[in-house]
Amino acid sequence: MIKIDFKNIFACPSAGVSEAKWRALGKDLPRLIKQLKTRGQGFHSVIDDAKTAGEIIKFAKAQRGKFESLVVLGIGGSALGLLAISQALNNIYHNEAGARGKRTPKLYVLDNIDPALIRETEEQLNLAKTLFIVISKSGTTAETVSQYLYFRKKIAQKKLLIKKHFVFITDAKTGWLRQVANAEKISAFSIPNNIGGRWSVLTPVGLLPAALMGIDIQKILASARQGRSSIFLANFSANLAWQMASAQYLLYHQGRSINVLMPYAQHLWRLADWYRQLLAESIGKVKNRRGEQVNVGITPVTALGVTDQHSQLQLYSEGPEDKLIIFVRVSEAGKKISIPLLTKTEVEFSFLRGVSFNKLFDVEYQGTAAALTKNNRPNFTINIKRVDEQTLGELFMLFEGAVAFLGELFNVDAFNQPGVELSKKMTRDLLKNS
């Protein structure tokens, strides 16, 4: 069960958001819940799709033991969610640990087309033992289709069966990948029509790779349902997603247009990366829903505790007053590891006596949050018990719910991304004219 502690926002007078002001905005909650429901988005209903979950698990079981490596061909929303799941629930050194005889396949995510990445990834693969997961909502993403064509040829050259080495995740009906799947009877899972790429982590996009690595996706879905239960409650105190969004919104209008997501958990920095896309693409919009030019957008920044205390904290503490810091704190970080003190010469480290890494890690979070607050830098903390399937689904729903509410608060369409089309068009034009 997630808890959020907002008090360090109100303890920063210059941030300009009092608890009363924040609670008062709650009057809009019932109206905005209604409004959000009219959007017809599926990010919160797809987690009830037991049929697809069952098919994913069945497919994963059938592949068990066949593959040493999974290669995801996907970019943006087709990569960041599954990376977040993998990093949260697998060993930090998953691919290396796998090489030592563990049973789950290694994971390679080709979310770029740098030739060096393609070449060096290919060198790692035994194609006969590789399953390619091709992910594109539209079925036409140029980078992903190119990679598919490339590895398809490699598989064919090895006289291996395309059908055995590829699985697609794409729209149920439209797009080139769906046509290929139909024509060649390649296994394919669907991304529901009403879920965009960056909202798709709890569809086959995130769940199929997870299941193939032996992760219990039913637990993730159950915890997501748990998290979802409060999103549509028109009750300020119960609705964490609303509380978070309304704090972000009010602070934005006080000049805090940068949101730093700083988990104190090595296993969660990819989750921060997933959130970075969700927040950036959903709220960064030139026009609001009335067609007026607004150029709004919260700039997400990812940071990692304690690591970035030694890289970014100086700026956060002393620089422009343009940031809100969002911490994620894990109360049970696993087995205690003690810090030994060996000799008398360490008297200057006496403050570490009897302290574990677990405690030092958590106290550094406390010291950092307190110091930022003292410097009038607003921050709040998302508290979870541990990083596991049972909290991950809840976190996904919290972040998705909060970003959806931000869309309603800013009155922008949080579910499209019109601003990337110009670059795609210019790229195509440059290729045609070259």
Q: Quick one: which segment of 1-9, 31-39, 265-273, 390-398 binds a second copy (CB under 8 A)?
A: 265-273
Q: How far is the CB of 53 from a second copy (least distance, A)?
A: 26
Q: Is 253 a catalytic residue?
A: no
* Binding region for a second copy (CB under 8 A) out of 211-219, 227-235, 238-246, 284-292: 284-292
Under rule CB under 8 A, residue 288 binds a second copy: no
User: CB-based contacts of 361: which residues, under 8 Å, 6+ apart?
Assistant: 264, 305, 306, 333
CB closer to a second copy, 12 vs 75 = 75
Q: 65 or 340, CB closer to a second copy?
A: 340
Amino acid making up residue 388:
D
Name the residue nearer to a second copy (CB basis): 58 or 173.
173
Residue 430 near a second copy by CB under 8 A = yes
Which among 229, 241, 292, 208 has a CA at the least distance from the CA of 26? Answer: 241
**321/256 Cα distance (integer angstroms):** 7
Q: 310 catalytic, yes or no?
A: yes
**Which of 27/123 has CB closer to a second copy?**
123
Active-site residue (options: 281, 389, 394, 408): 281
The single residue among 137, 165, 256, 276 that binds a second copy, judged by CB under 8 A, is: 276
Binding to a second copy (CB under 8 A) within 69-108 occurs at 75-77, 79-80, 91-93, 95-97, 99, 106
CA gap 108, 132 in Å, rounded: 9
Cβ 180 to a second copy shortest distance, Å: 7
x-or-dash string of contact with a second copy, 312-351, rule CB under 8 A: xxxxxxxxxxxx---------xxxxx-xxxx--xx-xx-x
Distance in angstroms (rounded) separating the CA atoms of residues 377 and 62:
52
Distance CA 31, CA 41 (A): 17
- What is the rounded CA–CA span in Å between residue 227 and residue 230? 6
The smaller minimum CB distance to a second copy, of residues 19 and 184, is found at: 184
Out of 5, 39, 63, 150, the only residue in the binding site for a second copy (CB under 8 A) is 150
CA angle 182, 185, 186 (to 5 degrees): 100
Could you tell me the smallest distance in angstroms from the CB atom of residue 20 to a second copy?
27
Residue 183 CB partners (closer than 8 Å, separation 6+): none
* Binding to a second copy in span 357-416, by CB under 8 A: 357-361, 363-364, 366-368, 370-372, 374-375, 387
CB nearer to a second copy: give 164 or 359. Answer: 359
Give 106's strand partners: 69
Q: Give the residue, chosen from 218, 284, 388, 411, that forms a contact with a second copy under the rule CB under 8 A.
A: 284
Exactly one of 112, 187, 226, 383 binds a second copy (CB under 8 A); which one? 112
- Could you tell me where the beta strands, DSSP code E, fall in 211-358? 258-264, 285-287, 293-296, 299-302, 323-330
How many residues touch a second copy under the rule CB under 8 A: the total is 128
Does an H or E element contain 347, and which? none
Q: Residue type at 90?
A: N
Task: Give the nearer residue to a second copy in terms of CB position, either 1 or 315.
Answer: 315
Closest approach, Cβ 54 to a second copy, in A, equals 30
Q: Identify whether 165 is a catalytic site residue.
A: no
- 185, 310, 344, 432: the catalytic one is 310
> Which residue from 81, 86, 111, 393 is in contact with a second copy, where contact means CB under 8 A?
111
**Token code pair at residue 404:** 């959806």
Per this entry, what is the length of the chain? 434
Select 80 or 326, whichever has its Cβ closest to a second copy: 80
Residue ranges in 166-225 that form contacts with a second copy under rule CB under 8 A: 176, 179-180, 183, 197-198
Does the protein bind a second copy through residue 140 (CB under 8 A)? Answer: yes
Buried b (16+ CB within 10 A) or exposed e, 367-381: ebbeebbeeebbbbb
What are the tokens at 271?
């989750």
d(CA 408, CA 414): 8
Instruction: Give how far Cα 210 sits from Cα of 130, 293, 377, Å.
Output: 16, 41, 37
Helix (H) or strand (E) holding 211: helix 204-212
Q: Tell me if 114 contacts a second copy by CB under 8 A.
A: yes
User: CB under 8 Å to 211, separation ≥6 — which residues?
Assistant: 56, 57, 59, 60, 217
Question: Which 24-63 positions form the footprint of a second copy (CB under 8 A)?
Answer: none
Catalytic residues: 281, 310, 424
